[in-house]
């Protein structure tokens, strides 16, 4: 049930200038209809490139000038790989075997390298990696998207919106504003760094009016013409509604009208007979969901049209029945529809964007990960959280006096024969999601000892410093270092997504060993402290170096993956691919990703392997936040949270004690 060992995609480290302008009334820009009503994507970005040319504008102006993802030399990849794997060897024999496999790899993989370079030549307007990555990494993976694939953002509360309907209306206004800029191409392209390097904008085509579609063996992704679809979908008590929310130019309906529309959805959900809770089905294994969906299509002549209404919605608003949730409870609500998955009927997990709201106005976003990573969605979320309820009225410029609200599935006549089959599918899906939710635990950790201000003042990279702390914490949790992944975006390259920054290094291993499995409280000894500080600096420097290489698409994992994909069915793979240390170094028992936003309460995702943890984190100026997920049977999340705080406090003590003046007495 777990993802391919080579593949892990998470929201990438935030080094992007947000591209949304200050609050203002936007200039008019018409939405040009596409040449067709919808497009079915099979995971090959160039197939939908015509949309970029059709839309144009600042958003896509750099696409044709972006550099292509490089094919690295085998020698450079091996040079970067070895220091990340050696610390994971359990014996001198394993070290020797690994070194032998590395030595033979250039010759054994030479023909694979030639094929990879040929593949690059055959894709002059794309990336040699993207189609493999989108398909083998996502659309062909059969696991449920819940926990295994999707991620969440928990937004801070809007003090001007204390009710669900108010917050939902404000989010729709902000979403309409951002959507209008995306679908007209008027959103400025994201830039990164002091040189303002443009980033690839391909993902924005799959943000709105988009939905993953279950199919046997290989899912597809439907995207719909925004000029033909001006509605959002609303989920309430297992019912789904179509609700228009923008005019033909993309302007949001007035705030009052949107509030009335959302309230009408809630009232209808109370008045209608109990819903056939189809949302549960989207949480299934993809092949099971594909079978269930086919049953739905056969159950009623109008079912396909109803599904299209939901699939073509700009996004899905989920009006949940929870009054108020703690940080952990809200994270669970977003990650897997609640502690007991009780909100599973109120989700459509295939939608690219779901906005989830409690009755008291707490809100968050659930992102489906297949065709886009976290940073474009974070750009969207920046706008969602920037526009408060008090400000939203100024952005809602459409002249509408009411909005059309229609149930999507409630009035369909499903045959009795198919109804019993659908019920069986739903009951199976419900049991599976409830079981998955009950097996998981999630801890939200807020460390108030310090944040990026202190780390920078001490002369360290905040991200690398916290990564080293996580290495020490997991080392103490398990008594050894394990394969650790940090997602790093490579969107400066055409159709680039992510590369792996490996957190294990010979330098981090030396630091962890010196710090020990338990605090030694020996920092007051100057020689000991100096040695620990030296090793800390070397570990941080090593991480910064690897992170910098990964950001330039010079990591190791995507290259190894590409070569492995070119091994023929009758060919023997290079010895390195079957080496136990190589495999251990790619078994991401710790999957980490850094994303910091001032208006996010929390964010996170599930673990990659059943014997691992998901560890998302944010580094604010004066505090750090962590979201830790794991299977409940291990009892790891609280323990790891404690060890993280312990490691961060010890590292602060090293820095602060070294600053203290030495007594002259």
How far apart, in whole angstroms, are the C-alpha atoms of residue 448 and residue 446? Answer: 6
State how beta strands 220-224 and 210-213 pair: antiparallel
Phi, then psi, of 592 in degrees rounded to 5: -120, 155
Phi, then psi, of 203 in degrees rounded to 5: -65, -25
Instruction: Evaluate whether 408 touches 241 at the Cβ level (below 8 Å).
Output: yes
Q: How many CB atoms lie within 10 A of CB 216?
A: 11
Specify whether 369 is catalytic: yes
How far apart, in whole angstroms, are the C-alpha atoms of residue 400 and residue 656? Answer: 61
Phi, then psi, of 604 in degrees rounded to 5: 175, -170
C-alpha pair distances (Å), 560 with each of 228, 423, 482: 43, 45, 19
**Cα angle, residue 172 at apex, residues 349 and 625 outer, rounded to 5°:** 65
Phi, then psi, of 610 in degrees rounded to 5: -65, -20
- Residues 6 or more apart whose CB falls under 8 angstroms from that of 126 comprise 44, 45, 46, 68, 494, 495
Question: Is residue 4 classed as helix, strand or coil in its secondary structure?
Answer: coil
Q: Which residue has the tokens 């067709």?
A: 36
Nearest to 186 by CA among 217, 226, 214: 226
Phi, then psi, of 316 in degrees rounded to 5: -120, 125
Give the distance from CA 157 to its chain's centroid. 21
DSSP secondary-structure letter at 608? S
Specify the DSSP element, H or E, that contains 394.
helix 389-395
Instruction: Evaluate whether 306 touches 408 at the Cβ level (below 8 Å).
Output: yes
How far apart, in whole angstroms, are the C-alpha atoms of residue 367 and residue 376? Answer: 11
At 310, list the tokens.
Answer: 């939901």
CA atoms within 13 A on the CB side of 73: 3
Task: Name the active-site residue from 369, 440, 559, 620.
Answer: 369
- Name the burial class of residue 367, with classes exposed (0-12), middle (13-18) and buried (19+) by CB atoms within 10 angstroms of its CB: buried
- Residues taking part in catalysis: 369
């Amino acid at each position: 049930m777990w993802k391919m060992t080579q593949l892990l995609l998470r929201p990438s480290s935030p080094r992007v200038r947000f591209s949304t302008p200050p609050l203002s009334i936007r200039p008019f820009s018409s939405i040009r209809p596409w040449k067709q009503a919808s497009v079915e994507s099979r995971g090959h970005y160039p197939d939908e490139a015509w949309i970029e040319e059709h839309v144009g504008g600042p958003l896509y102006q750099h696409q044709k000038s972006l550099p292509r993802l490089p094919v690295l030399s085998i020698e450079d990849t091996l040079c970067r790989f070895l220091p990340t794997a050696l610390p994971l060897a359990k014996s001198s024999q394993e070290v020797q075997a690994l070194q032998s496999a590395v030595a033979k790899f250039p010759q054994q993989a030479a023909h694979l390298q030639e094929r990879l370079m040929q593949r690059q030549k055959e894709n002059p307007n794309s990336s040699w990696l993207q189609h493999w990555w989108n398909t083998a990494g996502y659309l062909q993976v059969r696991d449920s998207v819940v926990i295994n694939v999707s991620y969440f953002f928990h937004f801070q509360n809007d003090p001007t919106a204390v009710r669900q309907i108010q917050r939902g209306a404000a989010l729709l206004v902000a979403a309409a504003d951002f959507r209008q800029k995306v679908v007209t191409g008027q959103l400025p392209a994201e830039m990164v760094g002091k040189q303002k390097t443009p980033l690839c904008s391909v993902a924005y085509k799959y943000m709105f009016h988009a939905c993953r579609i279950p199919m046997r063996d290989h899912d597809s992704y439907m995207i719909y013409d925004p000029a033909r679809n001006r509605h959002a979908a609303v989920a309430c008590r297992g019912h789904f509604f179509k609700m228009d929310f923008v005019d033909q130019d993309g302007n949001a309906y007035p705030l009052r009208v949107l509030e009335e529309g959302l309230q009408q959805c809630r009232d209808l959900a109370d008045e209608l007979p109990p819903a056939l809770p189809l949302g549960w089905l989207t949480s299934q294994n993809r092949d099971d969901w594909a079978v269930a969906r086919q049953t739905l299509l056969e159950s009623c002549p109008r079912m396909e049209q109803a599904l299209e209404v939901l699939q073509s919605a700009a996004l899905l608003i989920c009006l949940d029945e929870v009054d108020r949730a703690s940080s952990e409870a809200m994270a669970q609500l977003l990650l897997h529809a609640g502690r007991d998955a009780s909100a599973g009927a109120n989700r459509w997990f295939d939608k690219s964007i779901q906005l989830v709201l409690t009755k008291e106005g707490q809100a968050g976003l659930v992102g489906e990960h297949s065709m886009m990573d976290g940073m474009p969605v974070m750009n969207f979320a920046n706008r969602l959280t920037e526009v408060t309820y008090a400000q939203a009225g100024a952005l809602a410029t459409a002249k509408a006096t009411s909005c059309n609200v229609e149930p999507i599935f409630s009035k369909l006549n499903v045959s009795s024969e198919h109804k019993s089959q659908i019920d069986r599918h739903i009951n199976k899906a419900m049991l599976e999601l409830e079981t998955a939710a009950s097996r998981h635990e999630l801890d939200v950790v807020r460390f108030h000892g310090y944040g990026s201000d202190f780390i920078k003042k001490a002369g360290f990279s905040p991200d690398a410093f916290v990564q080293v702390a996580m290495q020490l914490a997991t080392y103490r949790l398990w008594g050894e270092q394990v394969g650790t992944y940090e997602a790093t975006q490579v969107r400066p390259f055409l159709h680039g997504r992510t590369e792996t920054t490996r957190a294990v290094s010979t330098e981090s291993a030396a630091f962890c060993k010196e710090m020990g499995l338990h605090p030694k409280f020996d920092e007051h000894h100057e020689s000991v402290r100096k040695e620990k500080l030296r090793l800390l600096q070397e570990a941080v420097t090593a991480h910064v170096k690897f992170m910098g290489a990964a950001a330039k698409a010079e990591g190791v994992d995507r290259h190894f993956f590409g070569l492995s994909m070119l091994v023929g069915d009758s060919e023997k793979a290079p010895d390195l691919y079957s080496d136990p240390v190589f495999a251990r170094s790619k078994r991401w028992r710790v999957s980490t990703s850094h994303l910091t936003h001032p208006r996010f309460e929390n964010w996170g995702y599930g673990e990659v392997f059943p014997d691992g943890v998901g560890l998302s984190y944010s580094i604010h100026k004066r505090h750090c936040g962590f979201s830790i997920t794991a299977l409940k049977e291990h009892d790891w999340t609280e323990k790891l949270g404690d060890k993280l705080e312990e490691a961060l406090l010890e590292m602060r003590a090293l820095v602060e004690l070294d600053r203290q003046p030495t007594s002259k007495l």
